[in-house]
Structure 1
Amino acid sequence: MSDFRESIDIDRRPEDVWAYITEFTHVPEWQESATATERLDPGPVGVGSRLRITRHIGRRDIPMTMELTEFEPPRVWGMQGIDGPVRPHVHGEITPLDDGRRSRVTLEVGFEGKGIGKALVPLVVRPQMRKELPRNEQHLKDRLEHPVA
């Protein structure tokens, strides 16, 4: 179940959007709470691949291990948190527009709290995400439409 769903249109081909989004070192460039990422598995990315994303939530930096649950280039990806007090569930879709010249990116995000996370999710995480998700999509659009050299 997702708590939030946001879409944005981007003036780039779906393949370009896919390449940027699934190169996970880019996550801190377009997601405000992400401070670092680290691939945990060697080899090609696919279902079952894991990465650690460190996020600034409230006053703390919290590392989360995420596992890819969906991976259908260049259209669909999904991830689920598998440890830590806050476990996000993410589903993303890239829809071609204008005969593949543009893209619509839709992100759905939900959260499960474990231990202290049961209090963090409603009090800190959801309010933060409510503000952040639309801004993250705008950052993604800006990065892809106006790349920094």
Structure 2
Amino acid sequence: MKKTASAVWQGGLKDGKGQISTESGALKSNPYGFNTRFEGQPGTNPEELIGAAHAGCFSMALSMILGGANLTADRIDTIAEVTLDKVGDGFEITAVHLILKAKVPGASEEQFKELANKAKEGCPVSKVLKGAKISLDATLVS
């Protein structure tokens, strides 16, 4: 299976503008640039897109792992905080912190945390980001 996304960039780093699109059409010519990445202007940036991908992938992986334990979540809410740090002459994604709140009837706190950590380690996006520190706060909601 292959999925594609594309980016078009015009101009210099600080004055240039870009657009990001996905094959599915979920993103279609969404603007991004230096100002949206580093100055908080409206538009997207690569780090929040990686965060969205990680949160979505982790949530699906957790659902699968819960199913393997004969559990089904009523709700899984995941936030991914992506850290971009200056390292040497450039920048690096150094960490992703996953914040999970889930309602899983029948799960004990210990079982839930064990399964959530298994999802954190096994999700394909976690694997591709293994150079970054990936942490998890998991809260079982009753």
Shorter-chain TM range is 0.3 to 0.5
* Normalised TM-score (structure 1): 0.35
More strand by share: 1
* Normalised TM-score (structure 2): 0.37
- The higher-RCO structure (CA 8 Å, 6+ apart) is 1
Q: Which has the larger radius of gyration?
A: 2
